[in-house]
Structure 1
């Protein structure tokens, strides 16, 4: 049929002009043939005709050829976050008195630094997880343990403390006395203070360079000597005893936040706030779509200048919060949970301390699948998608994951290395 169409009257060597009576019929045949060829070309371009997987050949269209490749596709989702140092927390200041000095907000403090001054006494930062809950020193041990020893000795002697109401025992001895002195009483020998808080403090004292004692759970006379040297360096009276308000513990370096009082005011609960010294990102993730937020999950953080740095999910809040202005139309889906992302390489952040960022995490993943550029897909008239081969044929495909400008494809006629056309 094609040969019949291409041989026209204007070509050299064409057949003689037919008689006038047959001219109308020949003209009709030529017009019909052209229409059929055009219809076949259209059907081929639309993927109609032929088998279910591959259509008939058609004149190839313009465009570049690319191979079907086997690779792993990873779907990445982006959410908004904010870079900063995290929420500010009140410092547990246990000193009592008047605030006489406060540091500037944004100052970084580390072990041995003065956090503030109360009654012109420094309150020093040390590292540890156990809070300061008692005085540490030989005097503290002697005071508390002597009372305990006195009570025990009195009970062993069958005496009832304060039986006469004047602080003496039934025998006339002072309550808690153990005998042995010129006045008939015994003085309890001071015993050394022990505990995990002692170990924590001695570890810090040694790290600051004050040695000469054994770092253990016992506060000895040698420990007191080291404390006196430390107190001298701080400009304090050399008592050898550390008061409960002289020290504040934290897990590491901190960054000073805002103060709730001014110098001259009394110490209160919100005297001074702090954060960690490392910058981090907080994401308000949708409570209905936060399955990606698992502790330890690796993410990418895109900074305002376009650079990306590595991050990792450190914690996920357990309490959902409705956004400001009320819940959305879907109720619970409008609520969010805070997700904290830490950045190990702090230098990669440069001098940026705060600002909006984008957090990118991995969603779905398709491993070892056949893929083509998304631009190679052709919509078929009967529905679905197909690919145009180098010969101009069209083959129907099933699509899977879309990611990174490529799409997962499968089908009976699809194989690795098959050349397909990206139409212009």
Structure 2
């Protein structure tokens, strides 16, 4: 996990792999002997070889969940156990943590737990508890919102199933209500950890979306070199590779450009069963490679050998002066993959002053 978003530039990686029959590009490039100053050669020559050309940009991507608080703790004491260790949907009655060895249970409900419940109490919170007890077949009939003797007996049996002393009443802090249990829920690790002291009122339960947000922060110059919708490969903490694409850009107050990454396909960048590798809170820095130009394999020559005469046709000039029309398939870092000439062709490269 990294500190708050910072400009993390790893480097630019240019891929230009050239495979030749001789000992590499340097060995297969032929330079004419230097001519006297008055008759300096106007070109050098280079041999076309089989290889591949492409370029990529390596930066750090930041993964961060957008969490939404959904429930507060009501128990007072020391956290003695964590039951909810991984984000996910819960079922009614799930234990999520324990305070002073007493489990805290999550139930569905829109009214937050604000008091203990005992014989004679009535209200919407009592009805929420009764709805749960009815669904668990611990209470028969219809939830009416009044804590009567039968409700106390049902609570008594429920407490036995939890492994706590059956009192027939619910203590403040025993239950946390959340609007829906089908959402991905997690605990705030900054608040709920074994040994932490709770005073009541702490925001402990958070909901998570299907996937964390992925962004890249970079300089304006580098951002301008990134084509829109470029493919991005993100290295997950496990070593898996997640596919993404370049999305919208915005500039922050420090002048850095924040690039949003979006799913290349589907609804999420990380597969649902792998998104849990990103901690629920804070920022996680991951290595990312942006494909500036896809790697293309073919016949490779120096880009300087290409010329466009007045007729607009792209061509190269062979060492003996013959002109050959070619098609430019890819360019990166001064090299081009072309069609129209075979590997081994020696082409002229205009000399630079």
Q: TM-score, normalised by structure 2?
A: 0.48
Bigger CA radius of gyration: 1
Task: Give the structure with the larger helix fraction.
Answer: 1
Task: Give the structure with the larger strand fraction.
Answer: 2
Q: TM-score, normalised by structure 1?
A: 0.42
